Structure 1
Amino acid sequence: MTEIVDYGAFAGRLRAVMPRWDERPFMPPEVFAAHLADTAPRWDLLRAFQEEWGFTAPSGPPAWRREDTDEHRLYVRKLHGDVLDADDEEDMEGVDVTLPIPKAVDEWWDLPFNSFTHEARLYWTHPVWPPTVRPDPSGYGVSAGLPDDTDLTDPDGDLRVCVLMAEYQYCNEWGYAASDAALADPRLLVSDGSDEWWLQADSVTEFYVQLAAMRLPFALRPSVEVAELPPEAATRLRTTFPAMGFAGPWRELGAHTTLYGGPDVILAHDEGAADITLRAAGRTPEALLAAGTALGLDWTTEITPPRDRP
């Protein structure tokens, strides 16, 4: 590995390919729809990021395919107009088949380089396929819908949320507004299993890039964990390492994590209720040590090697 990748410049890479929601008011609806549908550069960014941190998809089909799930089979049958029996209807109770599934959601499952479908154990989250609505009429999903005064979607539209990913115990759920389901790459929201939703990402594609950034570097490369970050080190973090540019902090299990970047290094800083305040991963041990030095910390004896993989 000879080429250094500066993740302090990652926000520019992200901004160059992700949807420009701030320009939506100045675009005709059909132009903005076409802009959202141009997802190929966003998936190229995901592929490049994965490869930079050492993930290359193995040959052969993925280990986890949406077609393998019973719910997918039921969903396709119902789309085709088949009459389901009572037990199957109960299994599909949380799915609204009248809602379209955004193009980017389907595309993610089909990516030949999708690190999740090839190696889901790197992620510790559970995909929901087909997406299920909140409030969930089946009673399984715990989150509420969006409030009447929401600014996360049209408050006069459908205030349900379609969940596509969940933390293992459903303490957090990620989904898009049902009123945005017809968009190719809608914004992604996150809940803490209660009545409140926050903006997680400016698109489905950004969400999957952010999820990869939260998982892969710390599993595939040497890393460090700091339980309590000294105040002066936290100040150096913000002034030395630029934020990576994601729309919102990563919200999971009480954590509100912002990703910062530098040469060959990513630093995940929590300002919520996580047990670990800072996690850092380097493409090389030298990059990790240099980041520690920049923070005024000596990580020489603290580095954890990459996780064993089958």
Structure 2
Amino acid sequence: MSDSSHVPPLDPTSRVYVAGHRGLAGSAVWRELERRGFTDLVGVPSARLDLRDRPAVDRFFDEVRPAVVIDAAARVGGILANATQPADFLSDNVRIQVNLLDAAVRTGVQRFLFLGSTCIYPRLAPQPITEDALLTGPLEETNDAYAIAKIAGVLHVQAIRRQFGLPYVSAMPTNLYGPGDNFSPTGSHVLPALLRRFHEAVRDAVPEVVCWGTGEPRREFLHSDDFASAAVFLLEHYDDAAPINVGVGEDLTIRELAETVADVVGFRGSIVWDTTKPDGTPRKLLSVDRLTGLGWKASIPLREGIEQTYRWFLEHEGEVRS
């Protein structure tokens, strides 16, 4: 790893563009930057700026000229969305990140943080997964198109570093959850999907909830506020071509997660597992040794984070995506 002691702190008056600032990760990063006193934050909703549109992105960068870019923009979804729309996931994500990275280089963006995903790692990577597992084996086929897009982003960042010498970096967050998550029945990830399903079961007095798979796969979950803290930390402490994992360093089974969510929500019925549905990758636990070695670690316990997220859901139930 490169010596990161030379990485200068971010200037809180610098113009920082948070791409995807209304999403789960982006909105948390925005809150963290505000908390730290940054005064020139830029965010544009997708209805006004389609990041897949290269001329539109170029015009935006020419006009705004950010000094720092945090790329939290992506087409994302759970196992069903990835399995049924793989071409869309690959095409949209490649275009988004290529347009942002090319415009950033062309207009002189000083610092760029690209957000990948743990799905870039091989399906059967040794656990916990270290960053050097990248490109060492076959991907999980239920989200391989999204993974390939994100791998292309990591390699694009590395190529920019080699060709232009710019201190752009890539971070690989584990499964994120928190306020502002996507609670859609068809497009959400596992934790918000479970929150909504158990909440509706309690509301409608349903005696049992059916969950996909066996419940045996193990997953790691990081609160979006913890991730945001890590993202800003990395911009000030990390300068290396290799992607760096961002997680908590511990996991639990999907069955344990479902039981915890049910308890938080107050569901007292039965949980049934539909084993005809796919499990996905057996385990995805990140090694976070490199990040903790730099001096950062997660601080929000999972149950506390789930309780906070459920409170947010209750306060915004009428607004969450259907």
- Provide the TM-score with structure 1 as the length reference: 0.27
| Structure with the higher helix share, 1 or 2 | 2
- Provide the TM-score with structure 2 as the length reference: 0.26
